[in-house]
Chain A
């Protein structure tokens, strides 16, 4: 019974750990859907999204995250993947091969 309760606790904690990045970082889909919702009956043009969501908002902060997490290094002006980053991405590449899927869309 105690072991079962421990297992229950660990699984719920895992859900929190998995969900936390979605809370910490702005998901592009979330921003898009909220922007469309705010536009209401007027609708939202794609160009408006392009001006609202730039590389500074969508891509550069994630590059900074990867550098902070030691998955990328900045060598002069070149970004290089580290051993940790390579090992991490290998898990997803392997899984994609099993699933017969193409490269991630992002």
Chain B
């Protein structure tokens, strides 16, 4: 294979990895009952990454830039996988998506009160609490919630740090 075509091939490897990731995620979620949404995302990502590494090792084994391609392709693939994961999360948990969803079937639109009857703060809290409970991130004892696994708490702390660093405030409601 010529050098130019080899260069292009190396660039498209992360794209091929992403395609494998999406296909595995979709197929595993649709066809295997025991695979939940989050598990299917992990599975797709892992298999896509194995494909990526196989392709990089296969095509770049004779190249002097082996490590460069392994590192850059891994970062590109992880970035694209992260974007795909966010796309799935946005579609399933985004408040703006849910509001648009409620209004998309109403040709005459809805008043704010009617919208709030269908989707309101209580729904948001209940849905989030259920998800956090199911993932073990919080636990419920005698009607009160406590921190379970610390993963989401650590992520929240990181996001708060980024908020302070980028926006100079902890909340969108702070001045």
A residues neighboring B (CB under 8 Å)? 1, 3-5, 7-8, 11-12, 14-15, 18-19, 22-30, 32-34, 36-37, 39, 41-46, 49-50, 53-55, 57-63, 65-66, 71-72, 75, 77-81, 85-86, 88-89, 92-93, 95-96, 98-101, 103-106
Instruction: Let me know if A62 and B103 touch, CB within 8 A.
Output: no
Interface string of B74-92 (1 = CB under 8 A from A): 0110011011001100111
Instruction: Let me know if A104 and B92 touch, CB within 8 A.
Output: yes
Q: Which residues of A contact B110 (CB under 8 A)?
A: 78-79
Quick one: which of B102-120 are within 8 Å of A by CB? 103-104, 106, 108-112, 115-116, 119-120
**Interface majority SS (helix, strand, loop, mixed), chain A:** helix
Instruction: Let me know if B99 and A62 touch, CB within 8 A.
Output: yes
B39 at the A/B interface (Cβ < 8 Å)? no
Q: Which residues of A contact B171 (CB under 8 A)?
A: 26
B residues neighboring A (CB under 8 Å)? 7-8, 10-11, 14, 26, 29-30, 37, 65, 69, 72, 75-76, 79-80, 82-83, 86-87, 90-101, 103-104, 106, 108-112, 115-116, 119-125, 127-129, 131-132, 137-138, 141-147, 152-153, 156, 159-160, 162-163, 166-167, 171-173
Task: Report the bound CA distance from A55 to B106 in whole Å.
Answer: 21
Instruction: Let me know if A30 and B93 touch, CB within 8 A.
Output: no
Q: Which residues of B contact A85 (CB under 8 A)?
A: 100, 103-104
Q: List 26 A-B contacts (CB under 8 A).
A: A14-B83, A18-B86, A19-B162, A23-B166, A24-B172, A30-B159, A30-B160, A32-B132, A37-B147, A39-B144, A44-B146, A46-B129, A57-B173, A59-B115, A61-B172, A63-B115, A66-B96, A66-B99, A66-B100, A72-B100, A81-B100, A85-B100, A92-B91, A98-B26, A103-B101, A106-B124
